[in-house]
Amino acid sequence: MPLIDESNNLLDTDLMSRVAEKFSTKDGLIIDNFGNQWYMWRSDGLESWWRFFEETIDAPMGRRLANSSCDEEEYLLNSLELDFTGFFKKKKSQNALIKRWEIHGWGIPQLTPPSFDSLGLTPLFAGIMQADIERINSKRYRMLWEEKTNQTAILTLEESNIPITAAKPSNSISEPGQSLLLELEHGWKIDGLSYFLLPIGLFKRLQKSCSGLVANIGEDDRNSWPEFGDGFLSIAIASMKLFIAGEELFLAADANGWLDSCNAYFGSRGYSSPISAKSLDKNGGIELKFRTIPCLAITVGHLAGAWVRCEGKPVNVSVDRVEKFDIIQLKSKYEIS
């Protein structure tokens, strides 16, 4: 009998092909066919990141997350993906909606009653679902969500006549690269773990929504980061804490090690990959140069976490923009002779 690779039998080749057709990768970014950038998140990792974020920003943020995801999905739906007319419009819309959620790993949506099954953050996917229904019905709604189980949520929608400005783009457009090739199992799993794709613009909108909030960050910690506001700090610190608490193998003993590890880990998740690295001192200081980082807070926070994991001591982070390049410096928080 021929030998059979059980891992290959688990792969969802149809899903892999659809993802490769819609998404590409370039410079460590994941880019769709319209030039929008995306992150690949592990579902349990996003849950942990959210807990760190709310602890740091020191405020309940579920509604702001829902609004941010709703606005971003509304903008993305200018692709006309859910727009249908004529006979069987509702059935066509439902089928297109299911395919849209499936290709991103979001779960299973249902128009009647408005609900969804998902392994991710309920407010985030409630906001996405609201935008989807508003697009299909060409109406605006006030939305409440209710969690029936840890995976199932139902939306309550009340039609609204309040005029709302259409969502504007939150990011610049990127040129496509090479097809995104992932070994995906059914349900958007990789090695048995659930993942999904989320638009980077969602996190930029979330950062903007933090305007006016004062995060629970001490003065000593604030001095270790660039002064980009408490929204940036909270997202970055949550990302740093997530990486420090994670299980990912990240080895970087020198500049070349940083390049290799960043390309392998950060690039595969859409955080952007550095194009050069140089050592700054004998205490592990490193400078990384990027062509573009769509959401600085997420990438810089993960880089800071990687540095702490490598060096075993607190980090000082600086960010600069030089000749259209993003320059990130990671050094020891305290002077070491």
Cβ atoms 82, 99 nearer than 8 A: no
Q: Which CATH number fits domain 215-332: 3.30.1380, 1.10.3470, 2.60.40, 1.10.357?
A: 3.30.1380
The CA-based angle 226-291-323, given to 5 degrees, is 75
* C-alpha to C-alpha distance for 296 and 255, rounded to whole angstroms: 21
Output phi, psi for 209, to 5 deg. Answer: -70, -15
- Alpha-carbon dihedral 40, 41, 43, 45, rounded to 10 degrees: 160
pLDDT tens digits for 132-155?
999 999 999 999 999 998 899 999
Answer yes or no: same fold for 6-160 and 215-332.
Answer: no
CATH 3.40.1130 holds for 6-160: no
Predicted confidence at residue 7, as pLDDT, reads: 53
Amino acid type, 317: V
* Listed residue (302, 73, 105) closest to 195, CA to CA: 105
Output phi, psi for 8, to 5 deg. Answer: -70, -35
b/e 28-39 (16+ beta carbons within 10 angstroms → b): bbbbbeeebbbb
pTM equals 0.93
CB contact set of 266 (below 8 Å; sequence gap of 6+): 28, 272, 273, 299, 302, 303
Predicted confidence at residue 167, as pLDDT, reads: 82
* C-alpha to C-alpha distance for 83 and 92, rounded to whole angstroms: 9
What residues does each domain of the chain span? 6-160, 215-332
Predicted confidence at residue 3, as pLDDT, reads: 46
Count, residues in the chain: 337
* C-alpha to C-alpha distance for 87 and 67, rounded to whole angstroms: 32
Residue spans of the chain under pLDDT 70: 1-8, 336-337
